[in-house]
Amino acid sequence: MTRPSTHIFRLLKWGRTLARHGALRGIERDPNTPAPVRRLARIARLGTIQPKVPDYASAFQEIGPAAIKLGQTLATRPDLVGEEAAHNLLSLQDSLPPVPFSQIEAQIEATFGVPVSALYSHIDPEPVGAASIAQVHKGVTTDGRTVAIKVLRPGIRERFARDIDTYEWAAAHLEEMGGEAQRLRPALTIANFKRWTNRELDLRREAASASELAEAMRGFHDYHIPDIDWDRTNGRVMTIEWIDGVKISNVEALKAAGHDLPDLAKRLVLAFLTQAISAGYFHADMHQGNLFVRPDGSIVAIDFGIMGRIDRRARQWLAEILYGLTTGNYKRVAEIHFEAQYVPSYHSVGEFATALRAVGEPMRGKPVSELSVGQMLDGLFAITRDFDMQTQPHLLLLQKTMVMVEGIATQLHPEINMWDISGPYVKSWIRDELGPEAAIADRIKEDTDTLLRIPALVRRLEEQFPPKGGAPEPPPLPEVELIWDRRRRKREGRGWIGYVLAAAAGAAAMWGGFAAGWLG
């Protein structure tokens, strides 16, 4: 077990890096920051010169691989780190200097137990990408196929395990301080982060994710997932079809190639909606570097280390929420939040609907270039505190991905209207999922507003769908010995030892006296 002093040393070391980039200023100024955390931040920044404008992304980049991944996770949590930090962290680049090719070759040979030449006729020594967890090389298999070879950085699993151990320790202590820190559930955030990163650190899981997504998107036109070479894939190495195409972020190259950019933007949005709402399984790292456009116009996704999954009940609620926001039906959106138990029942549905209206109405009637799903989601986050909404980790990846997709789609086609594209799709999905019952329920809802009072429909919903908003059971949290409990145990331990020693000394004295008398 790692000693508390080791955790504190790591936190202070990381804190000094954050301080040099001005990234502790917000923590110190936030009135919700627990006093012990504020004191630790002040100690960490002693003697540092802080820039006027914080650069959170550079700080996390400097700290190391696990911090880069954590920073990307925190970019989805403006409620936890603040709007300024979350926006800055969106620019965090998952890149590090490459590992020497000799180490990559040794890693391949060690994990397969055969020479590299038995698997590949050629591997380019220069990587095409070097990220925090792995790096990718272009190669040719012994049977002549051009492939991308993804290899874990040597020692990366051990380094992540060490850093996440400290994240868990810090999150457990933060949550025990109560108040806002407890509502935001940092321990659960780190537990989910650990689960996601462990999945990324097993390249067989990533290969399986790619295969599953390809199966789910088989019927979607012009959206491609590269094929996996299972014979050359294991936990530390993944071999996948090489993709020739233009990065979707390179708008000028796409124009030069004659691609229809508005059509690309629309297809990207619909591909995301198909994954998230129809399949309930989506590519959750859909940033610009992971999407390409082939000469035939098809969109190709790569890098399947981070995937999101939403069960059917949560997808139905999500679809209704999106549709309610597009049509201005804030009361229905509010009711869904209560049905899903996202908002505690002691709050008012009407008051929550009014809060939602405050977020949605300022955006209605604006030009399409000013409409933003990302802004809407940020607004929804802003009202969670007033209504005691606990974080829903199973929806965090969805929120992050939706913002990413909107950003790319807007870059391709600045006049795109996400609502115009998502509204008809979501409405159609709701109708298809519930069939004639949906039409009947809609009519009853419109005419009498008593849908949930009809026992038969209530029983049908309860039998067909799981409770709690379709949220998966949270992962088990690690048993972390809190530092104050450790001190108390040590104090009690010393007292117990003292009693034992005193009793032993008394027994020895008694035995000595008895023996002396008996011998005398």
Domain boundaries, the chain: 4-94+157-198, 95-154+207-214+226-242, 244-490
CATH hierarchy code of domain 95-154+207-214+226-242 = 3.30.200
Q: What's the helix, strand, coil split of the chain in %, to 5?
A: 60, 10, 30
Among candidate residues 285, 388, 447, 485, the one labeled active-site is: 285
How does strand 146-152 pair with strand 291-293? unpaired
Q: Which residues of the chain have pLDDT under 70?
A: 76-80, 180-181, 183-184, 317, 322, 325-326, 363-382, 384-385, 390-396, 419, 433-476, 481, 483-520
Question: What pLDDT, on the 0 to 100 scale, is given for residue 208?
Answer: 96
CB atoms within 10 A of CB 201: 20
Q: Is 345 exposed, middle or buried (0-12, 13-18, 19+ CB in 10 A)?
A: exposed
Question: What pLDDT, on the 0 to 100 scale, is given for residue 484?
Answer: 60
Question: What pLDDT, on the 0 to 100 scale, is given for residue 264?
Answer: 94
Please, what is the end-to-end C-alpha distance for the chain in angstroms? 54
Tens of pLDDT, residue by residue over 365-412, are: 554 456 555 566 566 666 766 787 765 655 667 777 877 888 888 889
Instruction: Give the C-alpha separation, 303 to 283, whole Å.
Output: 9
- Name the helix (H) or strand (E) containing 129: strand 129-130
Question: What pLDDT, on the 0 to 100 scale, is given for residue 472?
Answer: 52
Q: Which two tokens stand for residue 52?
A: 């006027």
| pTM recorded for the entire structure | 0.73
Question: What pLDDT, on the 0 to 100 scale, is given for residue 189?
Answer: 81
Whether residue 285 lies in the annotated active site: yes
Helix and strand tally (H, E) in the chain?
A: 23, 11
Q: Would you say 359 and 368 are in contact if contact means Cβ atoms under 8 Å apart?
A: no
Q: Is 103 exposed, middle or buried (0-12, 13-18, 19+ CB in 10 A)?
A: middle
Of the candidates 272, 312, 238, the residue with the CA atom closest to the CA atom of residue 469: 312
Q: Which two tokens stand for residue 244?
A: 């020739």
Question: What pLDDT, on the 0 to 100 scale, is given for residue 445?
Answer: 47
Q: Would you say 135 and 129 are in contact if contact means Cβ atoms under 8 Å apart?
A: yes
Q: Would you say 57 and 71 are in contact if contact means Cβ atoms under 8 Å apart?
A: yes
Question: What pLDDT, on the 0 to 100 scale, is given for residue 518?
Answer: 31
Where b means 16+ CB within 10 Å and e means fewer, 415-444 reads ebbbbebbbebbbebbeeeeeeeeeeeeee
CA 40 to chain centre: 26
